[in-house]
A and B are shown apart, each in its own frame.
Chain A
């Protein structure tokens, strides 16, 4: 899985690409955490446009970043999850913790 990070103003955007599972989550987690620690963003946008698969390890990944960002007073947004990823997000109640933006 690929993760492209981009910081503009107070917003850190992580463009994710590929499949999120327990194997791929680790590396992405470390990349995003390092950026949060050094840049202290107010908003973290997780762009799921190019995510083709996610299981509950992805929920662990999002929840961990949610807690980290929340502890410095920020928030998380999830952009463009696929219908299947959205069902996993819903099951986990992520829609109650983060804004989920869905487009075509």
Chain B
């Protein structure tokens, strides 16, 4: 697939940046003229992945989050969200709805939301090295 446009950013794993991260990705995707629902889906999925970097990967300590957004032909979007945090021991288990290691204020639904609000979700992780979450979404032309 041919890349038509690309956007990269690196930001501190601070919770104040959650809204900035999803808004930036949303603004970049806006060039594809998505529906309000499509923009909202993408922002929600990005928010989940970014929050996981902050809460789980870096455990609210210092670290960087790397986001790449690629736009391909046919309005296909690929969003890569990467951290160099603790990694995930059992990805399959982590992706089960309601599973959380985050205590009583976490719903354990982040991956379920990412899965349901995108076309495809890919998670690669290495304990002690970090995690890469890739979200795919096709923007249907209006």
Interface residues in chain A, defined as those with a beta carbon under 8 Å from any beta carbon in chain B: 19, 21-23, 25, 29, 53-57, 59-61, 63-64, 83-84, 88, 91-92
- How many A-B contacts at CB < 8 Å in the complex? 63
Do B105 and A56 have beta carbons less than 8 Å apart? no
Give min CB distance, A53 to chain B, whole Å. 7
Contact of A22 among B40, B55, B112 (CB under 8 A): B55
Cβ 8 A contact of A55, one of B15, B48, B54, B104: B48
Q: Is the interface of A mostly helix, strand, loop or mixed?
A: helix
Q: Scan B95-112; emit 1 where CB is below 8 A from any A CB, else 0.
A: 000000000111101101
* Known contacts A21-B47, A55-B51, then 5 further A-B pairs from the complex at CB < 8 Å, ordered by chain A residue: A21-B19, A53-B22, A56-B113, A57-B51, A64-B104
A64 to chain B, nearest CB (A): 6
Size class of the contact patch on chain B: 20 to 34
13 residue pairs from A and B, CB less than 8 Å apart: A21-B15, A22-B54, A22-B55, A53-B47, A56-B113, A60-B107, A61-B105, A64-B104, A64-B105, A83-B37, A84-B40, A91-B116, A92-B109
Known contacts A19-B19, A23-B18, A91-B112; is-contact A55 B105 (Cβ 8 Å): no
Known: A55-B47, A83-B37, A91-B113. A23 touches B15 (CB 8 A): yes
